[in-house]
Chain A
Amino acid sequence: MLKDHPGLEQTLLKISQMNSDKYFLKQCLVFLSALMVFLLSSPLYADGASGGTFIDKVYHPYVQPHEREIEWRGTYKKDSELRNQDNAQRHKLAYAQSFNDRWMGEIYLVGEKNRQKDFKLVSVELEALWQITEQGEYDYDWGMLFEAEHETEEHISEVSSALLIEREWGKWVGTANLYLIYEWGSHIDNELETAMALQGRYRLSRQLEPAIEFYSSDTSEGIGPVLLGTIKLGGRKQIRWEAGVIAGLDNETADETYKFSIEFEF
C-alpha cells in the first residue's frame, strides 16, 4: 500500500523493533514510582508549607531544550464565611530554565496577603521537572515533578514528588498529578501526605482551550472551569496564559478560588 504513494520515495520508512531493554527500564521506573505513591496513599492530604491552598496548577510532563521562562501566577479566594480565607491572595513569581531535553528547573518567590496581614514574601520554592517518556510514545506520557519549599515565617519545610501522567483522546487531553509530600517544622507534626490534581482539556484552538480542573488535598478540595491559551510572538517567544475559578467542595475550601498564570517563554 505504501508504495502507491510517490511521497514515500523520499522518505526512509522502515519497521524497527523498539529497544526492548530501554523500554523495559522505563516501564520499571514508571511502575516503581507509581507503586510508591499507591502504597503510601492514605487519607492524609497536603496542606502546603505556607499553609496556602493546594489549588494552583496542573503540570504537564514535557520539557523543551534551550527553553527559559518567567512566570507569574496567583490565586484569590472569596468566601464570606471563612474570614481567614476571604480576600486572601497568593502570588508566585518564577524563573525556569531547561537543562536539556529531559530536565527543567524552576525557582519561585511566593508572597501572600490576607485580611490580617499586608503582602509579604512567605516562602521560596525549588522545582525540577523530569520528562520520562516522549509525547505519544506510549498510551500515557510520563513525567515526575520534584519540589522543595521553605516557609520563612513559620519555619515549615516541605519536599514533594509528583507523578505526572497525560493522555490524549482526539481533541481531548487528560492530565493527572499525583503527589507524595513530606513536611516538617517546629510548629507542626511531621507527616507524609498525598494530594492530587486533575485536568481535562479540550484542544479548541491554540489561542483558547477550555478545561476543567479538580484538586484534592487536606485543606482544599475543589473543581471548576479553566481557560488556557498560547500567544505566539515569533521565534522562541510566546506567552502562555491560564485563568479559571475553582469552586470549593468542602467547608475548609473557599467558595471560589480565582486562579491565573502568565508565562513568558523566550
Chain B
Amino acid sequence: MPKSPFIRVLLLIGTLLSAIRVAAATPVIDVEIKNHLFIPSEIIIPENTKVKLVIHNRDETDEEFESYELNREKVIIGNRKGVIFVGPLPAGEYPFFGEFFPKTAQGKVIVK
C-alpha cells in the first residue's frame, strides 16, 4: 500500500466527485462592523443550514472575524467586505469576536 499511488487516486476521485456537484442556493446574511462593533451582534441562523455571512467593515481599520467554535478566522480589510461561510451546524451558540478590537467587537451565531 504505502508506495502505491492507489491512495492518491482514490482521494482525488472522491474529492472530484464532491467538487462537481451542483451548487445549492445559500442564505446570505449581511453583517456590519462599525465603530469596532458587530451589527447585529447576534446572528440567528437555521439548524443544519449553510449560511453565507457578508461582513461589511465600515471602519477605517482592519478587523479579524475570529471564532474557534466556528473554525473560522478571516481578516476583513477596512472599508471593504469579506465573505465567511458557516454551517451546517447543530443547534447551539457559537461566539465570535474581532481579534483586533476584542473588548468591543463581540457577538455570537445562534443556531435554532
Contact = CB atoms under 8 A, between A and B. Distances in A.
A94 interface: no
A178 B3 contact: no
B7 interface: yes
Interface stretch (A4-12, A76-84, A144-152, A256-264): A4-12
Interface in A1-44: 1-2, 5, 7-8, 10-18, 20, 23, 27, 30-31, 34-35, 37-38, 41-43
Interface stretch (A130-138, A153-161, A184-192): A130-138
B84 A15 contact: no
Given A10-B40, A64-B74, 10 more contacts: A15-B26, A34-B15, A38-B8, A64-B75, A66-B77, A138-B19, A165-B15, A173-B71, A178-B11, A196-B8
Given A34-B16, A235-B99, A206 B5 contact: no
Interface string B77-104: 1000011111100000000000110000
A50 to B, nearest CB: 22
A178 B62 CA distance: 34
Contact of B72 (A12, A42, A135, A236): A135
B12 A13 contact: no
A11 B29 contact: yes
A72 interface: no
Contacts of A142: 19
A12 B29 contact: yes
Interface of B: 2-5, 7-9, 11-13, 15-16, 18-21, 23-31, 39-40, 42-44, 46, 50, 52, 62, 64, 68, 71-75, 77, 82-87, 99-100, 110, 112
A113 interface: no
B28 A14 contact: yes
A216 interface: yes
Contacts of B3: 43, 45, 216, 221, 250
A143 to B, nearest CB: 13
- Judged by DSSP, the binding face of B is mixed
16 contacts: A1-B46, A14-B27, A16-B52, A18-B23, A34-B12, A37-B8, A38-B8, A64-B64, A64-B73, A64-B74, A65-B77, A66-B75, A66-B77, A134-B84, A135-B84, A136-B50
Contact of B25 (A10, A16, A42, A135): A16
B48 to A, nearest CB: 13
Nearest to B47: A1
Contact of B8 (A41, A65, A101, A249): A41
Nearest to B7: A196
Q: Which of B15, B24, B87 has the most CB of A within 10 A?
A: B15
Interface string A196-210: 100000010110000
A2 B112 CA distance: 9
A203 B73 contact: no
